[in-house]
């Protein structure tokens, strides 16, 4: 079995470039959905809000001003091939080095505090990135890199359901989460739903679900129908873009599932604002 060497400097440079890109460039799949919603929207206030959100996408890219002032925490899903050896620093060290550099040179907002409760000091570096690493077969390093803002994250929820809960209970919980979030989570949203696993795996599934292709569906038709039902029910709340009413409260709902304990049925709902900044790279 041949080992493939990747220099830590290459990882750092590629991650840096990805952060730089997502700071100013939205997921390209979002704008066509917003454009369509704008054309179909009748409410003048909702139309006005959508116009601003759409205009912002072009301005951020042209003027090199971040899409959102909350440049967020950096979340990285890494899939490290089992034949890859990163030479020099560790993967996380390389990612953090890239983040520190991007914070300075891309003028990211210093948003991360060193301690959550007793010593909420802002060291100005945005470190550390939150990195989830999985070892997979192969000779490549896949990184999915995202800037996650605080507003939508704050309105996310997790509930340990009884296994006797029915699908409608879960749909209601997801819709309730979006309703409670209202405009605080900056809709139109992408809604990631984790079902199954245990407490922490369920939350991770919900997070991962945010970063699948926006048009992707769950492979199982039962869950696929649930995604559709959830999206319809969420948009029927008429919370609308920025809570100003209208037909577009969510852009997509994605469910991810995992096997779970006989006694458990965990459900996590992770919300993503319309400023959906993420990029997948392969080294």
Partner 1 sequence: MKEHYINLPLNANDIEQLSVGDKVYLSGEVFTARDVAHARLDALLRDNMALPFELQDICLFYCGPSPTPEGKICGAIGPTTSARMDRFTPLLIEHGLRVMIGKGDRSEEVTQSIRAHHAVYLVCIGGASALLNQSVVSRETFLWDDLGTEAIIRLVVKDLPAYVSVV
- Please tell me whether residue 212 binds partner 1 under the rule CB under 8 A: no
**Would you say 202 or 252 has its CB closer to partner 1?**
252
Instruction: Sort 187 into a burial class: Cβ within 10 Å, 0-12 / 13-18 / 19+.
Output: buried
- Please tell me whether residue 154 binds partner 1 under the rule CB under 8 A: yes
Kindly identify the residues of this chain, within the stretch 240-259, that bind partner 1 according to CB under 8 A. 242-244
DSSP codes of every residue in 133-171:
EEEESSS-EEEEEEEE-HHHHHT-EEEEE-TT--HHHHH
Interface with partner 1 by CB under 8 A: which range of 41-49, 125-133, 159-167, 214-222? 41-49
Interface with partner 1 by CB under 8 A: which range of 169-177, 225-233, 255-263, 267-275? 267-275
- Residue from 6, 18, 53, 94 touching partner 1 (CB under 8 A): that is 53
- Please tell me whether residue 275 binds partner 1 under the rule CB under 8 A: yes
CA distance 41 to 115: 44
- Residue from 3, 124, 220, 225 touching partner 1 (CB under 8 A): that is 124
* Backbone angles phi and psi of 236, in degrees to 5: -75, -15
- Rounded to a whole number of angstroms, the minimum distance from the CB of residue 61 to partner 1 is 8
From the list 131, 129, 130, 112, the residue with the least C-alpha distance to 121 is 112
- Please tell me whether residue 159 binds partner 1 under the rule CB under 8 A: no
Please report how the helices 8-24 and 91-105 are oriented relative to each other, as an axis angle in degrees rounded to 10.
Answer: 40
Question: Would you tell me how many other CB atoms lie within 10 Å of the CB of residue 127?
Answer: 15
**Would you say 111 or 156 has its CB closer to partner 1?**
111
CA distance 138 to 2: 10
- Residue numbers of the site for partner 1 (CB under 8 A)? 44-45, 48-49, 52-53, 55-56, 59-60, 63-71, 107-111, 120, 122, 124, 149-151, 154, 182-184, 186, 242-244, 273-275
């Amino acid at each position: 079995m041949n080992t493939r060497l990747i220099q830590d400097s290459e990882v750092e440079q590629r991650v840096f470039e990805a952060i730089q890109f997502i700071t100013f460039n939205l997921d390209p799949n979002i704008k066509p959905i917003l454009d369509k919603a704008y054309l179909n929207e009748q409410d003048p206030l909702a139309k006005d809000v959508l116009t601003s959100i759409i205009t912002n996408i072009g301005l951020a890219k042209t003027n090199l001003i971040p899409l959102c002032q909350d440049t967020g925490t950096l979340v990285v899903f890494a899939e490290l091939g089992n034949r890859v050896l990163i030479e020099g620093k560790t993967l996380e060290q390389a990612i953090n080095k890239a983040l520190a550099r991007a914070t300075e040179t891309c003028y990211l907002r210093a948003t991360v505090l060193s301690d959550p409760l007793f010593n909420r000091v802002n060291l100005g570096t945005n470190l550390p990135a939150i990195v989830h690493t999985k070892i997979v077969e192969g000779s490549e390093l896949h990184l999915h890199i995202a800037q996650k803002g605080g507003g939508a994250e704050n309105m996310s929820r997790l509930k340990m359901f009884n296994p006797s809960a029915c699908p409608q209970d879960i749909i209601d919980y997801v819709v309730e989460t979006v309703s409670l979030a209202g405009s605080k989570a900056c809709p139109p949203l992408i809604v990631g739903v984790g079902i199954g696993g245990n407490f922490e795996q369920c939350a991770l599934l919900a997070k991962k679900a945010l970063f699948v292709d926006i048009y992707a569906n769950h492979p199982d038709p039962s869950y696929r129908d649930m995604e559709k039902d959830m999206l319809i029910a969420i948009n029927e709340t008429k919370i609308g873009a920025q809570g100003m009413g209208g037909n577009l409260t969510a852009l997509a709902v994605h469910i991810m599932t995992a096997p779970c304990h006989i006694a458990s049925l965990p459900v996590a709902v992770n919300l993503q604002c319309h400023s959906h900044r993420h990029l997948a790279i392969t080294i």
